[in-house]
Structure 1
Amino acid sequence: MNETEALSSHLRTVAVEAALAVAPDLRAAFRSRMDVQFKRDEHDPVTEHDRRAEERIRHALLGKVPDSTVVGEEGGRLEGSGRISWYVDPIDGTANFAHGLAFFCTAIGAVLDGRPVAAAVVDPIAGHIFSADLSGARLGDRPLVSTGTAQESRALLITGFPNSRELASGDPESAARFAGLVSRYGTVRRTGSAALTLAHVAAGWSDAALGTTVNAWDVCAAQLLVGQAGGTYVPFGGDPGWDQPCYLAHTRDLLPTALREFTDWYTTRAAGTDR
């Protein structure tokens, strides 16, 4: 194991410990009465538990890697002097959490020199601990292998497209493109948590995932899980790099013809909008 791999392994351990530190509080708060506020609009909720969990995670990360940068969904960017940047989503799937739907997670990813190298995605209700470093991906202590069906007509796709803002844009193609995915995939679901959805792709519980309005903290950890489990993660829709606002992901077995057609259309549409 070289120096980078050893550091990656250490960062995975730190990420898992930080995510697990807030899991008991999230389980205790789940399906309780809570104050829900909104950021951009009614589709973008936040609770006191998001803010409290992020603060605790930030302290845990800086306690182990004190010179690192922490980028959180709620607290913004806290700049450090070191090479490590953490991307933290304390509750990915806040709307689910606030409504009592058990599909949300805590996601923590570590980036070294511009590359995700360690990840933790913890589902506090199911008790699933997904993690990855440069040696591979795991569910608990078991290696993850992203396998599934090869045919889209039999596959399970999870997507958040189109969301309310995309529909509000008035582009008639949005609904038609979603209908096309529904007709070509065996099953299509909308789950509301990009990080947990991608963890399910890494585990082979979903064959494919498609997102078009995500942030870096949504996907930093989970994309490493998919790749290290042998699946495919493709960022698109923005400047080159891992933190683009759109993604498609799938198991190593799937032939994603419809998804590739979608990304070609979406990229072309975005380029036309920019002109």
Structure 2
Amino acid sequence: MDETQLLDTATEAARSVGPRLRKAFRSRPEVSTKRDFHDPVTEHDRSAEEAIRAVIEARVPGSAIVGEEVGATGSGDLTWYVDPIDGTANFATGLPFFCVSIAVAVRGELVAGVVYDPVREDEFTATTAGAWCNGTPIRSRGARADREAMLLCAYPTPLDLATEGEAALRRYGRLLESFSTVRRPGSAALNLAHVAAGWSDATYGTGSHPWDVAAGALLVRQAGGVYVGDPLAKGDYLAHVGGFDLAGSVLAEVSVRSSG
């Protein structure tokens, strides 16, 4: 199966859950928690992942799937990374900034991905041939320096505060002072998609999983932006538009947290 067919499967799977997510949005669904009260989950996360898995398994049987809710299943050269709702807290309370994120890797190399915003009906897609939003090619272009740039930030998280204490707040303060604008929208995948489209200039967060960032990382890179790190390993994420001066940015200082 070639990349175009893999992307078609990913977009079909993502769009298959769009109607149910739009219908449930702003219904204030019942929320339970996973790790702690900062980590919500709803019945819609679970049902959406099941529906996505059903599409993938029907179209590409025998591949591995790594999902946020169900975990890892299957094996083979193809691995799908699925986040049925990235931004669950936003979805659960009625804030329209969440998405479906699906990426596929062949023998450990990302080859296709989709980040689908079901509220705005924005479909960000990428293969090794390029990146698109609603079928139109996108280029990751924008600010060159902090003072002109918008940063989408997920740092510090409650875990960052627990492990770093006041140092995390000082680092966050440095970001607020340095960047023109700092926002905390609440979806790593959508943050990355917006950087890929040049709608924001940089994004940074900690403790991400592959299902959070794999599709977004491919989008950024294929749109001409920069993604720092391994999107298929758990860890921090940092991305920016092409031409941004990371070496001269406070981000370069803040993201090396172990030096603090």
For normalisation by structure 2, the TM-score amounts to 0.96
Q: Which residue is equivalent to 2:239?
A: 249
Matched-pair contact (CA < 8 Å) for 1:85–1:111: yes
Q: Distance in 1 between matches of 2:66 and 2:232?
A: 15
Determine the C-alpha separation between the residues in 1 that align with 2:62 and 2:127.
Answer: 20
Choose the corresponding residue for 1:187, options 181, 197, 221. Answer: 181
- Per mean C-alpha deviation after superposition, the further-off stretch among 218-227 and 162-171 is 162-171
Residue by residue, what CA displacement relative to the aligned partner does 1:82-104 show, whole Å, maximum 9, x if unpaired?
Answer: 31000000000000000000000
Q: Secondary structure at the match of 1:51?
A: helix
Cα displacement (A) at 1:140? 1.1
2:57 alignment partner, SS class: helix
Aligned residue type for 1:262:
V
For 1:117, the aligned partner's letter is V
For the structure 1 residues 241 and 128, does the alpha-carbon distance in structure 2 shift closer, same or farther, using more than 3 Å as the test? closer
- Displacement of 1:151 after TM fit? 1.9
The structure 1 segments of at least 4 consecutive aligned residues displaced by more than 4 Å after TM superposition are none
Residues 1:232 and 2:221 are matched in the alignment: no
CA distance in 2 between partners of 1:99 and 1:252 (Å): 34
The alignment status of 1:14 with 2:9, answered yes or no, reads yes
Alignment of 1:113-262 (within 5 A): 113-235=107-229, 242-256=232-246, 257-262=249-254
- Check the 8 A contact 1:220/1:243 in 2, yes or no: no
Partner of residue 96 from structure 1, selected from 90, 97, 109: 90
* Residue 33 of structure 1: aligned partner: 28
- Letter of the 1:218 partner, please give it: D
Structure 2 residue runs of 5 or longer lacking an equivalent are none
Distance, in Å, in 2 between the alignment partners of 1:140 and 1:170 is: 41
Q: Aligned pairs, how many?
A: 258
Q: Distance in 1 between matches of 2:222 and 2:28?
A: 38
Letter in 2 for 1:247: Y
Where in structure 2 are the equivalents of 1:38-49 lying within 5 Å?
38-49=33-44
Q: Separation in 2 of the partners of 1:251 and 1:133?
A: 18
Name the residue aligned to 2:102: 108
Q: Aligned residues: percent identity?
A: 47
- State how far apart, in whole Å, the 1-side matches of 2:202 and 2:104 are: 24
8 Å CA contact 2:210–2:231 kept in 1: the answer is no
User: How many angstroms apart in 2 are the aligned matches of 1:31 and 1:145?
Assistant: 33
**Equivalent residue for 1:66?**
61
Q: Could you tell me how far apart the structure 2 residues matched to 1:173 and 1:68 are? A: 43
Unaligned runs of 5+ in 1: 1-5, 270-275
Q: Does the CA-based 8 Å contact 2:217-2:231 persist in structure 1? A: no
> For the residues of structure 2 that align with 1:58 and 1:138, how far apart are their CA atoms?
24
Q: Which range is displaced more, 255-264 or 20-29?
A: 255-264
Secondary structure, aligned partner of 1:210: strand
Q: What per-residue deviation string (whole Å, max 9, x for no partner) do you get for residues 38-88 of structure 1?
A: 0011110000000000000001001111010011000011123x3100000
d(CA) in 1 for partners of 2:231, 2:67: 19
8 A Cα contact 2:207 2:235, kept in partner: yes
Check the 8 A contact 2:101/2:212 in 1, yes or no.
yes
Distance in 2 separating the partners of 1:201 and 1:9: 23
> Alignment partner of 2:124: what SS?
strand
